């Protein structure tokens, strides 16, 4: 029996030994790979240098990696039959509307457990620098991505 196919969209490869967010994503991929064929689409970075070992770790799980320079997202999406998981709010802001146009039938989940933005929002309160205060305030006022099937967030209270 063929596994269902799931698309995971993230800014780059999870550098699981460098930060907790990457470890979290890698753990998710490891668990999901037992039940799904996973296509991993990354927005930035090519695979080279130090990132080769992270790519190899994903390939060992059976994850197929799609880097922006290697293939268009439009070529990967028709083969997805189960859903899309976006890692981070900004990734969904950038690609969710486009993917929704390509595949309105797919559930799309956005993971917004991004402590970086929580830290920036908190720092904005105490910032003497107007650019930092403005960026933190802008991120604090974000709404859930429209047209997402599910969005879950980490708030300042968690």
Domains and CATH numbers, the chain: 4-115 (3.40.50.720)
pTM for this prediction: 0.76
Closest Cα to residue 61, out of 86, 32, 88?
A: 32
Give 60 or 128, the one with higher predicted confidence.
60
**Tokens of residue 113, six digits:** 């457990």
The confidence score (pLDDT) of residue 27 equals 93
Please check the confidence at residue 38 and state whether its pLDDT lies above 90.
yes
36-42 β-sheet, strand order:
64-66, 36-42, 4-10, 83-87, 108-112, 150-153
pLDDT tens-digit series, residues 101-125: 889 999 988 887 655 555 666 666 6
3-7, 33-37, 69-73, 79-83: segment of lowest average pLDDT? 69-73
Q: Which pair of tokens denotes residue 86? A: 């976006």
Residue written as token pair 């968690």: 158
Mean pLDDT computed over 73-84: 86
69, pLDDT greater than 70: no
Q: What is the mean pLDDT of residues 68-85?
A: 80
């Amino acid at each position: 029996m063929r596994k269902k196919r799931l698309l995971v969209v993230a800014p780059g490869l999870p550098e699981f030994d460098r930060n907790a967010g990457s470890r979290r994503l890698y753990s998710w991929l490891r668990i999901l790979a037992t039940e799904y064929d996973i296509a991993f689409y990354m927005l930035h970075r090519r695979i080279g240098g130090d990132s080769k070992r992270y790519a190899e770790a994903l390939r060992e799980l059976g994850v197929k990696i799609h880097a922006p320079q290697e293939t268009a997202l439009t070529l990967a999406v028709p083969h997805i039959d189960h859903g899309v998981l976006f890692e981070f709010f900004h990734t969904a802001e950038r690609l969710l509307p486009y993917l929704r146009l390509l595949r309105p039938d797919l559930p799309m989940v956005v993971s917004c457990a991004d402590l970086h933005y929580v830290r920036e929002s908190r720092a904005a309160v105490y910032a003497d620098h107007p650019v930092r205060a403005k960026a933190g305030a802008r991120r604090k006022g974000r709404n859930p991505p429209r047209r997402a099937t599910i969005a879950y967030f980490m708030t300042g209270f968690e």
